[in-house]
Structure 1
C-alpha cells in the first residue's frame, strides 16, 4: 500500500530530524571502533555511509518538496 503525500511528508520530517542524527552518531561510533583509520579511509567510510543511509528512504523523499498532487489548485490560506 503506497503512502499518501501527507504521510510521506511526515515520515521524511521524522527521518531527517530524528533518524539522521541517530545514524550520524552510530556512524561516528563505528569509525571510532576501527581505531581511527587513515584520513583517506575515514573519508571513504563517511562518504559511503552518507549515501547508504538514504537508499532505503528514496521512495519516502521522492516528490516531497513539490506541491501536493491531490490538491485541486485552491490556495491553502483561503
Structure 2
C-alpha cells in the first residue's frame, strides 16, 4: 500500500524531528562503546552509522520536495491581460 503525498510529508517530518535525534543519541552511545582504537576505524564507524538510517526511510523522503501531484493545478482562464 502506497502512502499518499500528505502522509509521506507527515512521516518525513516525524522522522526528522523525532526519529533522527533519537538515532543520533543511540548511534553516539554505540560508537563510544565500540570505540575502535584507530582513526580510520572510528571514521568508518561514524560514516557507516550516518548512512544506515537513510536506507529504511528512502521511500518516505522520495519526492517530498516536489509539488503535490494530487493537488489541482491552478487554472489561468481569467487572465486579466
TM-score by length of 2: 0.84
The aligned runs of 1:11-30 (5 Å cut-off) are 11-30=11-30
The aligned runs of 1:7-46 (5 Å cut-off) are 7-35=7-35, 37-46=37-46
Runs of 5+ in structure 1 lacking a partner?
A: none
Aligned residues: 75
Distance 2:23 2:32 in 1: 14
User: Over residues 28-67 of structure 1, what are the superposed CA-to-partner deviations in whole Å (9 max), with x where a residue is unaligned?
Assistant: 1011112453222111111111111010111100000100
The higher radius of gyration belongs to 2
The aligned runs of 1:45-64 (5 Å cut-off) are 45-64=45-64
Does the CA contact (< 8 Å) of 2:35 and 2:42 recur in 1? no
Segments ≥4 residues shifted beyond 4 Å: none
TM-score by length of 1: 0.87
Q: CA RMSD in A?
A: 1.5
Runs of 5+ in structure 2 lacking a partner?
A: 76-81
My pick for the range that moved more, 38-47 or 15-24, is 38-47
My pick for the range that moved more, 10-19 or 32-41, is 32-41
